Amino acid sequence: MINVVIFGAPGAGKGTQSDKIRQKYELMHLSTGDVLRGELAAKTPLGLEAQKFIDNGELVPDNVVIGMVGNKLADNNKFKGIIFDGFPRTISQAIALDDLLFKKNDSISLMISLDVKKEELINRLLLRGKDSGRADDKNEEIIEKRIDVYLRETEPIIGYYHEQNKHFNIVGEGTIEEIFARICNIIDKYKLKKEELTMTIESDAKTNFTTVVEDAKLIEETSEKEEKVEEQEEVKEEEEVEEEEAEETEGEEEEEEEEEEEEEDAPIKIEIEIGDIKVVNGSLKIEIGDFELLKNSEVEIEIGDISIDGGNVQIEVGDIEIEN
């Protein structure tokens, strides 16, 4: 979208140039003066209210004009932008216009100011007044008043757009075509810059996108590699654990085997609990208690001769059989 404010004092040629700009750049032409005159001709309440201001060469109140422009902005969708002619005429209107456009996600692109000397302005307006039928163009006093109002209330807007780097001043004197060429020069440069800027933004966005994609790929590849390394490490660890366990098992088995071998080789120890020893009717009776064996086996002990030798009892133990 290209939104241009064509700016200048009454008689600077805003209307004439706006029409040419509209055609060339396919813009909507929004002239608040034309809209107000239309309302006046239709005798609408708005037109009737505006009439006294227009006839006196004064500005119609901001709220009336801003409301009117707000309504017109709703119809601009089929155009490539808008050319604002005779609006804004006060700083408040300029701020309100920015707000209105902002709500449409849009903004003013350029403000082109037509610079014309006061005498030339007056001559043009008086000349126009002969054919246009506009009452405010016929009366030199009213013309002077309109130029004063312009200098006092409208011209300061230049500073508003200047601060935003949107203000361009051109000589508004010469032929219509000469002036138009100057205007086109500005608009064309703006369009070119905008295209370049858009291309830069698009290519930046593309580069950024590519970088993002490449970064994502890199991250993916890196994490895949890391996952593989982790998997390999896990497998290695598991193998080591298995090896250790196998070694341990082997060791245990060997130990068991050794123990078994040791057990097999070891002499069988028998603990016999000897209970009471009595002499009954000339016979010696020995009470034998529990046997404790290394293995859970039954033991048969053959007791041989028992004799008393010097006060000691001697028991002859024969074969010992162990049954598993």
* Interface with ligand AMP (CB under 6 A): 10, 32-33, 36, 53-54, 57-60, 65, 86-87, 89, 93, 136, 146
**37 assigned to active site:** no
Listed in order, strand segments (DSSP E) in the chain are 2-7, 28-31, 81-85, 110-115, 167-171, 270-280, 283-293, 298-309, 312-323
Min dist CB 154 to ligand AMP, Å, is 8
In the complex with ligand AMP, the residue whose CB is nearer, 33 or 172, is 33
Nearer to ligand AMP, 58 or 270 (CB): 58
Minimum distance of ligand AMP from residue 35's CB (angstroms): 8
Nearer to ligand AMP, 54 or 187 (CB): 54
How do beta strands 81-85 and 2-7 pair?
parallel
Cα(102)–Cα(184) distance, integer angstroms: 25
Residue 96 corresponds to which tokens in the numbers above?
Answer: 């309100």
Nearest distance in Å: CB 203, ligand AMP: 41
Contacts of 46 (CB under 8 A, 6+ apart): 36, 39, 64, 68
Clarify whether 89 is annotated catalytic: yes
Active-site residue (options: 72, 128, 138, 145): 128
CB 121 within 8 A of CB 115: no
Q: To which residue do tokens 């004009």 refer?
A: 65
User: Closest distance between ligand AMP and the C-beta of residue 65, in Å?
Assistant: 4
Return the number of the residue (33 or 129) whose C-beta is nearest ligand AMP.
Answer: 33
**Do 110 and 162 form a contact (C-beta atoms < 8 A)?**
no
Contact 125, 137 (CB under 8 A): yes
CB of 58 to ligand AMP, least distance (A): 6
Exactly one of 80, 103, 118, 134 is catalytic; which is it? 134
Residue number, 16 or 301, with CB nearest to ligand AMP:
16
Q: 68 vs 170, which CB is nearer to ligand AMP?
A: 68
Instruction: Tell whether the torsion through CA atoms of 64, 66, 68 and 70 is positive or negative.
Output: negative
Shortest spacing between CB 137 and ligand AMP, in angstroms? 8
82 class by beta-carbon count within 10 Å (0-12 exposed, 13-18 middle, 19+ buried): buried
- Select 91 or 299, whichever has its Cβ closest to ligand AMP: 91
Burial of 95 (0-12, 13-18, 19+ CB in 10 A): middle
CB of 124 to ligand AMP, least distance (A): 12
Biggest CA pair distance of the chain = 177
CA angle 243, 249, 252 (to 5 degrees): 140
> CB atoms < 10 A from the CB of 238, how many?
10
Catalytic residue of the set 22, 37, 124, 146: 146
Residues serving a catalytic function are: 14, 89, 128, 134, 146
